[in-house]
Amino acid sequence: MYLIDTTDLDIPSLAYTKFIDDICELLICLDSLTQYDSTISITKDSISQLIKQSVFNRNFTKILTSGKLKILLLDLLTKGNIIKKNYNFQKTNYKEILKDYTLLNGYKTNVAEKNFFTYLYSNTLETKYFEQYIQTHNGLTIKDIGNRILLKSSVCPYCNGSYLDNKSYSKDHFLPKANFPLLSIFINNLVLSCGVCNERYKLENYYIPSLHPYIDNINDQFKFTFFEDIEFVIGIVITSPINSQIYKATENYLELFKIKERYNSRNILTNSQEFLGDLRESFLEKCNDKAVNSINDIKIIIQGMITQKIHKLKTRHSTQLFSKLHTDILLQISNNLDEEAESIYFSLFNKFPQNH
């Protein structure tokens, strides 16, 4: 729910871009060979030979000639130029596409692209040759990229409700690789999240416009509210103007991850009530210690405590579970300071304050 700064990945991610560029160049090159000499037919046996004779990086050649990739590559032979064009467009306009789907007008997922790139993503990324290729081009392996992100954000950026560590995270393709195979190894499209968000809720779904944890500060677009009159429930209010694109994007994000439903689960409701209970207890204790005698004194004390707690949470929003929910609970109390102070007054003196 918070913005993850990924600017330090800009340079390492160029190696992945270079890899796709190399594939496109190779395809264009193979295609021109057959156009030149129509007697050449490129088969999976000849493809290894041709790739080995080419000018590409040794590791690049090893990646493409081992495993199933060269067979899948055969289906892409005439598509080098179109892949290059589509990839460059999607990569360059990634942020804009997330806000406006019409930019992809005419783009259709191609089965051959899907097969090739999903195989590449699933079977090749952690192989020795791929990692060596990436390192030769000043990139970081996917594992190192993961570790670098985890240093900054150890809580799921989608739900804010699960810790992530280097053994227990899920790599989500924000725009799913089934629909956007060319973005399967585009680093900005890979979001580290918890398994529940990725594998139970998001799956292959996506909505556009959408909020993205590397681009948007999702925190700022809505607030949690709590109601405790009849039973304890959590509500959500989107704060941006209705009918705006960002409003729609927020709505889509909340729907995609079923945030309201999940925040009204027994676990999170219990967590919220405990948080609120502890908070009120700490208010009471402090007011008791300070020997307050007026509503105004109480208000000053609890407002000071709230400000301090919000400040603390702000510095930990990407490392502490439910930091957004807790911040919003504090803000709601701060907005109802009179009521809160009266209740403390009543607990301290067993009577309502005068003039109230």
Among residues 20 and 156, whose Cβ is nearest to Zn ion?
156
- Point out which residues pair with 236 in neighbouring strands: 224
Candidate residues 24, 98, 156, 321; the one interacting with Zn ion per rule CB under 5 A: 156
Which has the closest alpha carbon to 219: 305, 133, 318, 95? 318
Nearer to Zn ion, 120 or 190 (CB): 190
Q: For residue 276, state whether it binds Zn ion (rule: CB under 5 A).
A: no
Give one DSSP letter per residue of 283-296, joined into a string: HHHHHHHTT--SHH
Of 6-14, 42-50, 69-77, 155-163, the window that binds Zn ion (rule: CB under 5 A) is 155-163
Determine which helix (DSSP H) or strand (DSSP E) holds 299, and give its type and residue range.
Answer: helix 295-315
Q: How many residues bind Zn ion (CB under 5 A)?
A: 5
State both tokens at 216.
């948007």
Q: Is 194 in the site for Zn ion (CB under 5 A)?
A: yes
Q: Toward Zn ion, which CB reaches closer, 110 or 210?
A: 210
Q: How many distinct helices (H) and strands (E) make up the chain?
A: 16, 4
**How near is the Cβ of 193 to Zn ion at its closest, in Å?**
5
The two most distant CA atoms of the chain are separated, in Å, by: 100
Residue number, 138 or 265, with CB nearest to Zn ion = 265
Residue 333, interface with Zn ion (CB under 5 A)?
Answer: no
3-state secondary structure of 264: coil
Is 61 within 8 Å of 172 (Cβ atoms)? no
Q: Rounded CA gap, 203 and 197, in Å? A: 8
Helix (H, G, I), strand (E, B) or coil at 343: helix
21-29, 87-95, 190-198, 320-328 -> range binding Zn ion (CB under 5 A): 190-198
Among 149, 197, 249, 259, binds Zn ion (CB under 5 A): 197
CB within 8 A of 174, min separation 6: which ones?
98, 189, 190, 191, 206, 210, 212
Query: Applying CB under 5 A, does 142 fall inside the site for Zn ion?
Result: no
Question: Which pair of structure tokens corresponds to residue 305?
Answer: 């405590």
Please tell me the distance from the alpha carbon of residue 148 to that of residue 137, in angstroms, as a whole number: 18
Q: Which is nearer to Zn ion, 158 or 283 (CB)?
A: 158
Contact stretch for Zn ion (CB under 5 A) within 71-79, 81-89, 153-161, 200-208 = 153-161
Question: To the nearest whole angstrom, how small is the minimum distance from the Cβ of residue 213 to Zn ion?
Answer: 10
Q: Least distance (Å) from Zn ion to the CB of residue 216?
A: 16
| Among the residue ranges 187-195, 226-234, 292-300, 308-316, the one whose residues contact Zn ion (CB under 5 A) | 187-195
Residues that bind Zn ion (CB under 5 A): 156, 158-159, 194, 197
